[in-house]
Structures are given as C-alpha cells and as structure tokens.
Amino acid sequence: MKITRQQLSRRPWYREHAIQVSVACVFLSVLVVFLLVSAGIIDDETNPRPLLQVQAVQQQANSNFPSQYPPLSCQEWLRDIPHYRLPLRDYVPEFQDPNHGKQFTRVTDGYPFFTIALHNEQFDPARWSIVKWGHYYETALTAAFSAVLNETVSSEPVGTTVRVLDVGANIGYFSLLSAGHHGNIVVDAFEPNRVNAFRICQSLQINHWLPNEYEIRRQSRQLSQQSTVNCHPYGIGKDVGKMVFHEVYNPGAGNFVAQPNDHTLSNSTLPVITLDAFAESRGWFISSSNTNRPVIALFKVDVEGYELHVVQGATRLLSSHLIRNIFMEVSARTRSEIHDSRAAVQLIAEAGYDVYQYGGFRGPKHVVNWSSRDPKNLTDLVIQEVTKKRHPQLNLWWKLAPKNAKATTQISKKQ
C-alpha cells in the first residue's frame, strides 16, 4: 500500500485539536482529585470542613469534647478557619511573633525523627542549639523519655492509649518527641507562654499532627496518625483561677508571679488550673474500674521554680497512682528554693514514688533507687545531693513504688 505525500503531511488528530485535548485533560485531573478528596483517600489541607462520608466519626469525636479546659485549636490559630469555633482568643491574646513571619525549623538527628519549629537565635539561644546539633541539650532526659515510652507501649495491649503530661512544654520538644514514638500516644502539653504555644502549633502543622484529641478528624488522617498532641494554654498551679504570667527575655524562663520585676518583657493575666481539676474534668477519677482510667506513662514538670505549686495542685492525681513516672527538676540556689524543693519532694514521696535516678542539667542518669517508705529520709537525701552541687539543680526521675505499681497493674487487668 502506497502512502501519498498528502497523507504524510497531515497532522495527527490530537495535534489539530491540541487546545481541546489540554482542556479535557485539566478537567479530568480536577475531577479525579475532587473525587479522591470526597472519598477521603487524600487530604485537602486547604479545606478542613467535614465530609459527608465521615460525619459519624466527627460527631462521635465532638460528643467527647471537654466542656472544661479545652485544648487550643491550632488549626484555627494558624489558619483562622471559622469552622473551628473554639474560644481561642479567650485563652491566647494577640502577641508579636519574634520571628516576624520567618520560619526556622530543624529535623532531629535521631529516632524518633520529627521536625521542630524554633524561635530565632537572638530570641532563644538555648533552644537554638537544636539547629546546631539536631537534638536538645538534655540528652539524658531524652533517653529516659524514650525508655519509658518504649517500655510502656510494649507492655500494654495493642491499641492502648498511653498518655503524657508535659507541664511547662516550652516550644514542645518533649511533646513532639513523645508523639513521634510508635504507638497510640496522647500528649497533654501545658504552655501558658503565647509565643511558645505558637511554636508548638507550628511544629504540629509541619509534622501533620494538627488535629487534637477532640477535633474533627478526616478519615484518611485518622488511619495514618495515631499520636496526638493537645496544646493547653493554661498555667498549672495549686488553685484554679487567674494569675499574672511574667514573660522575660528568655522564653524558657517565664513563670507566674505575684509582682513582676524590672526584667519583665510583658505581663498577661492568664488562666491557671490544677492537674487535679484537669483530671476530674476528663473523668479519670470516676472509679478504679472505669474505662476512662488512663495509662499515664510519664509526667514532666519544668516550670522554673514553680514546681511546688504544680505538685500541690496534683496531690489527688499522684495519690491515685495513675502516673507511672515523674521527671522534675529541683533547685537550691536560695533558701526559698530549698524550702519549696523540700516540700515538693516530700509530697511526691508521700504519694508513693521512689527516686530511681538523678542527674544534672542534661537529665537523670545516676541510678540510686531511693525508697519512698521513709519520705522524710528520701527528702533529706535529695536536698543533701542538690545543695552540694556546684550548680545546685537536680533532675529527678521518680518511679511509682513497686507495691503501688503492682496494684495499678491489677486494676488495669480488670478493665
């Protein structure tokens, strides 16, 4: 069969109709994406409104939404979507971002890997070390966190929710570290400093951990994300109310004070709650056989000299033995600090917790196993150790005493 010159010069049909073909391809692509989003197969980050296919899941999540002490909606704060109607601005007043719109992030250099948002180096040189090293300077505390979470997750039935209480979360390094571990981990991060809370929300957005425990969650996100971080913009103290939060030039050193001093950067009257009130609002104290009884793997306290107030507001929670491990720093730089540290240590010991390890500014690493059978003796040992240090600060790792831990395990098995 011969092919004529006219047939050779004729262009293919798709070239003659190039514009129509292009328009059709674009239309089909948009249609496919729309169908995938509607089916919940892929996530549309720019449109967080609920889909009909997951309304049942969303209603179930909303039915458990706490009426007291709700967490921040980081989604609303970062994107100001009206769909999320939490009373955000009642808890987090307007503030000026020290990064002025720039974003500084770093991926950690070890497992679990996660990305953390940071303040600029001039504003927060202490946390800027993460940019240089890929990890926080409290290396021993980081190792202890991982050890506790790995042990707890592996010892509990598959799917068990393991909780972490991070009081004084700062920019959220240890909250993110916890969420990065394998398992169904829920972190309650308490951080009244507005600038630090904003960084936590940024980190949650970067790591795709934005929906908190109670917010509407897309079906695809629900399958891919197990860990959750609830960012709470409250101070933790011994009474429920409001106090003046003293923000200083070091964003890791702010605390609640009666009278601000000359080094004040700004002051805000913010809500303060107790951990006992928080636990009560979540139904953790209803009964020993209640299904809401949580597995709290660890409780970290880093509140710059305010530790005694936190412990005094958590006596019922400690006595319930819901918490298995406690990480807390005590100081003895002044007589007032020695007095407060002694009182806080004795309260924890009387609640039935032994000191397992202690260490310096990098975290606990020296095994001591000081028993809580004699709370006064344990308290004396801690104060003696901290006062003889050149830098009188001590990081303590408390463990629930074996007899109390055994009783807690028996209760858990009955559930």
Q: What is the mean pLDDT of residues 300-308?
A: 92
The CATH number that applies at residue 272 is 3.40.50
**Neighbour tally for 198: CB within 10 Å:** 25
Would 56 be classed as within a structural domain? no
pLDDT of residue 60: 47
Is residue 213 within 8 A of residue 228, CB to CB? The reply is yes
Report the candidate in 293, 298, 310 with the shortest Cα–Cα distance to residue 163: 298
Q: Is the pTM of this model over 0.75?
A: yes
Q: Quick one: tokens of 79?
A: 């994107």
Is the pLDDT assigned to residue 373 strictly greater than 70? yes
Q: What is the mean pLDDT of residues 63-69?
A: 80
230-257 pLDDT, tens per residue? 999 999 999 999 888 766 555 655 565 5
262-285 pLDDT, tens per residue? 544 456 778 899 999 999 999 999
Is the pLDDT assigned to residue 360 strictly greater than 80? yes
pLDDT-based confidence at residue 32 (cuts at 50, 70, 90): low
Would 9 be classed as within a structural domain? no
Would 325 be classed as within a structural domain? yes
Is the pLDDT assigned to residue 392 strictly greater than 70? yes
Q: At what angle do helices 335-350 and 375-387 cross, to 10 degrees?
A: 150
Cα–Cα distances (Å) from 327 to 103, 108, 127, in that order, read 30, 22, 19
Q: Is 253 left (phi over 0), alpha (psi -120 to 50) or beta?
A: alpha
Q: Which residues pair with 301 in a beta bridge?
A: 167, 328
For residue 77, give its domain range: 71-414
Q: How many domains does the chain have?
A: 1
pLDDT of residue 48: 33
Would 5 be classed as within a structural domain? no
Would 188 be classed as within a structural domain? yes
Would 13 be classed as within a structural domain? no
Q: Quick one: tokens of 142?
A: 């980081």
**Neighbour tally for 380: CB within 10 Å:** 15
Average pLDDT value for the chain: 80
Would 30 be classed as within a structural domain? no
Would 62 be classed as within a structural domain? no
